[in-house]
Structure 1
């Protein structure tokens, strides 16, 4: 489909965001069978519209499905019925405000989301699969202990557990992959499902970031490959742990690293690439609405003669929902984990010669 049409639709959704949410709220009130209906959640209806816009722009109904999954997890009580009502009300509001061609495009994402709402939610934390690899099984208890210490607000105990393992010769990369990564993923899952608060999630994330910093001296020194990479999260994205892990692994693999961290403006990234002579950019999306911004970053890199040669590798949770989404950002590749990123980058630069 013509990308200009998608951008036109997205601009309509953005410009009429409040009107669409208010119109949907009126439909919800009209359909309520309660004698004293509660005020419809305008903020939540707006979030649905913004997620639809992301889905349309990236041609990815899976992004809207991921948005609904998060909404179901955060509000498990009667969430399916509530969300179905929201989508029906939005459908009616969109019918009134969009022309036929625009509505057909948006309705595709709405229909995919409505169909998906019938799928069962995963129950509880995932168990170690019976066919898990040897290292996953080997570190499963340590990962469980680390998570328990984090959730118990015992940062010192969690730190000591990892530093003791590293000082006894455990490869820091294994601690990243099989302890920190699964534990932090479970923290995120529990936040999404409402089992822990934002404050608790922030505490656990800050503790893990501190542990990673203290593990740096235990990474083995490796010869430099003469190449430099830049790692940065795009504007508005404050979740940096996954990107930091990937940068650490590639530094161990010989790269010089310039790590810019959270919420970095595109123009700052471009200047740093040109000034530092970077050959690789790493970036990630922690939420679906960050994906269009990654596409903007890649497009800006490609437009500038000083940066267009640079390779871009992306990662993050949204790309797990849609196997082709990374290609629509214009990136050169994507990786689902730090060790996979090392292999992907080796392949890219082997091809490049």
Structure 2
């Protein structure tokens, strides 16, 4: 028993040493991040970079930084993630789960709405730095649009739009709309596929009112949804009358192509 206790104490001490070492390296990482002096293709050029990457649980550390509104640390962590993975992977592995956790905290009363807002806006700035600005579609008018429904969190929409355009799919960006405005716009544009991004549960429930209004107008548009509430409740997308649900931004091109094919 004494030997087991000694081993446990040793392991705890080693973990504490690793944590302290990682903490001591953060000033180096944060300084490089603040000066944009970070070549992601060669992370080894920055002293301590690989060591921090090896010792840190990046997703959990990123979430903690957002919860503490420590934007400099969050920026440094995101740059670390970019050093050894594609931008879309960094976004889906760090930013998306962190914002989902913060949104869940608000639903459960553990997180202030202001904290959700600040974290979302900061992550939007991070994403805008790695994804190109939206390109207006040329030629044939797009048959697909993306919108944020009664919500103020635009990050998911930005990511999905970037993935669709990178896949050669033209998409109209509707920004933020309420149900009545959106139904009128769908009718005017004669859409075939509508993608809806939400972060908060009240906005997700509004999809039900939207799909009912679309049916009442006999509009044949197919609706795909995505966002945290649909991850937490696997059947919610069906309950609100959507035709499909995407779990990641990478699902979007396949969903759009499948829904367009169904409409032919």
Q: For this structure pair, what is the TM-score category when the shorter chain's length is used for normalisation?
A: 0.5 to 0.7
Q: Please point out which of 117, 138, 163 is paired with 1:249.
A: 163
Separation in 1 of the partners of 2:217 and 2:209? 13
Shift in Å, 1:178: 0.8
Separation in 1 of the partners of 2:133 and 2:57? 22
In the alignment, structure 1 residue 172 sits paired with structure 2 residue 172: no
Q: How many residues align?
A: 210
- The answer on whether the counterparts of 2:193 and 2:259 sit within 8 Å (CA) in structure 1 is no
Q: Please point out which of 248, 255, 259 is paired with 1:337.
A: 248
Separation in 2 of the partners of 1:224 and 1:339? 25
Separation in 2 of the partners of 1:345 and 1:261? 18
Separation in 1 of the partners of 2:169 and 2:220? 17
Distance 1:191 1:224, change over 3 A: farther
Gaps of 5+ in 2: 1-52
Per-residue CA deviations over 1:192-217 (Å, capped at 9, x if unaligned) read: 45554333332212111111222223
- The answer on whether the counterparts of 1:295 and 1:330 sit within 8 Å (CA) in structure 2 is yes
- Aligned residue for 1:313, secondary structure, equals strand
Shift in Å, 1:314: 1.6
Distance 1:143 1:334, change over 3 A: same
- The answer on whether the counterparts of 1:155 and 1:207 sit within 8 Å (CA) in structure 2 is yes
Q: Please point out which of 146, 154, 159 is paired with 1:240.
A: 154
Name 2:210's counterpart in structure 1.
Answer: 297
Q: Please point out which of 167, 175, 188 is paired with 1:261.
A: 175
Separation in 1 of the partners of 2:78 and 2:232? 31
Q: Please point out which of 121, 125, 138 is paired with 1:206.
A: 121
In the alignment, structure 1 residue 328 sits paired with structure 2 residue 242: no
Q: Report the TM-score when normalising by structure 1.
A: 0.49
Gaps of 5+ in 1: 1-136
Name 2:15's counterpart in structure 1.
Answer: none
Per-residue CA deviations over 1:226-246 (Å, capped at 9, x if unaligned) read: 7442222333x3333334333
- The answer on whether the counterparts of 1:280 and 1:311 sit within 8 Å (CA) in structure 2 is yes
Name 1:217's counterpart in structure 2.
Answer: 132
Separation in 1 of the partners of 2:96 and 2:130? 14
Name 1:159's counterpart in structure 2.
Answer: 75
